Amino acid sequence: MSVNKRHNNDSPEHLAYLNKIKQKEIAVRVSQIAILLAFLALWELAASLKWIDSFITSQPTRIWNTIRNLYQTGELYRHVFVTLYETIIGFTLGTITGTAIAIVLWWSDFAAKVADPYLVVLNSLPKVALGPIIIVWMGAGTASIVTMALLVSVIVTVIGVLNGFLDVSPDKIKLLKTFGATKRQILTKVVLPASIPTIISALKINVGMSWVGVIVGEFLVSKAGLGYLAVYGGQVFQLDLVMTSVIIMLVAAALMYQGVAWLEKRYMKGRR
């Protein structure tokens, strides 16, 4: 009973309408790709013709070569793997911890009231400022980087998810109470399932947040990873390396975001 079900006997008028939408979609996509290609071409051209100094701006072919070299020495995998590993762990921990704290605050109205000003202040604190403290406490290693990613994402998760919980219609909760539901049942039967869309949007935000945490963490302490690669490149004045790692981050973060979007689509299938 899909609403936008295609019928074989659509009127010519409707087909024309659908066609027009399709055309517009194609035009948008073509323009997007064209802009990217034009940008890359211009960059390449400007560097080759020495309009710009490719030593400090790098250039697409040099980036490509850098990627190839890294790939051939096997270093590409190592750096990408280290960063992805840290990001995914940080992301998962941030989301789970944030949701768990939100559950506690939902459960106890008192705790929520007490925590409120702390949440507000912590939310406005730039979490990366805690970097040096974390390193002192947890050592210069993966643990610090993951903690960084967790810290950056956890407070927004708590706030977002708790608001989602509190948005659940009081009448839905009343309905459960009329069946004699316990608080735990209210949580598991209505509050959590009703908040899945909110939790998914928290996930989407956390993809970006955990990347920020991991890269800053790597800037500060690491010996491997894309953030490390970028900092190292900057120190030895190899802008090719810096650009390369930025571009790989871009692709990886986009893929991770797509992963969450895919999850969302799968969950929403059949429901509204």
Partner 1 sequence: MNEQSIVIMDAVNLNYHSPEGETPALEDISLSVSKGEFISIVGPSGCGKTTILSLIAGLIRPTSGRILIEGKEVDGPSSKTGYMLQQDHLFEWRTIQQNVLLGLEIQGKITKENKRRAIHLLETYGLADFRDHYPWQLSGGMRQRVALIRTLAINPDLLLLDEPFSALDYQTRLALSDEVAGIIRKEEKTALLVTHDISEAISMSDRILVLSKRPGSVKSEYSIHLTGENRSPVELRKAPEFRNYFNKIWKELDVHVS
SS3 54: helix
> Between 166 and 196, whose beta carbon lies closer to partner 1?
196
Minimum distance between the CB of residue 190 and partner 1, rounded to whole angstroms? 7
Decide whether 168 or 214 has the Cβ nearer to partner 1: 168
Dihedral sign, Cα of residue 102, residue 103, residue 104, residue 107: positive
Closer residue to partner 1 in complex, CB, 123/182: 182
Q: What are the residues binding partner 1 (CB under 8 A)?
A: 1, 169, 171-172, 174-181, 185, 189-190, 193-194, 196, 270-272
- Compute, in degrees rounded to 10, the torsion defined by CA atoms 68, 69, 73, 75: -80
* Closer residue to partner 1 (CB): 122 or 173: 173
Instruction: Report the distance separating Cα 61 and Cα 167, nearest Å.
Output: 51
CA distance 62 to 176: 63
Q: Tell me the closest approach of the beta carbon of residue 196 to partner 1, in angstroms.
A: 7
Residue whose structure tokens are 């323009």: 31
Structure tokens at 189: 């039967």
- Least distance in Å: CB of 91 to partner 1? 24
Shortest distance (Å) from residue 234 CB to partner 1: 48
Least spacing, CB of residue 194 vs partner 1, in Å:
8
Choice between 185 and 238, CB closer to partner 1: 185
- Cα dihedral sign for 213, 217, 220, 224? negative
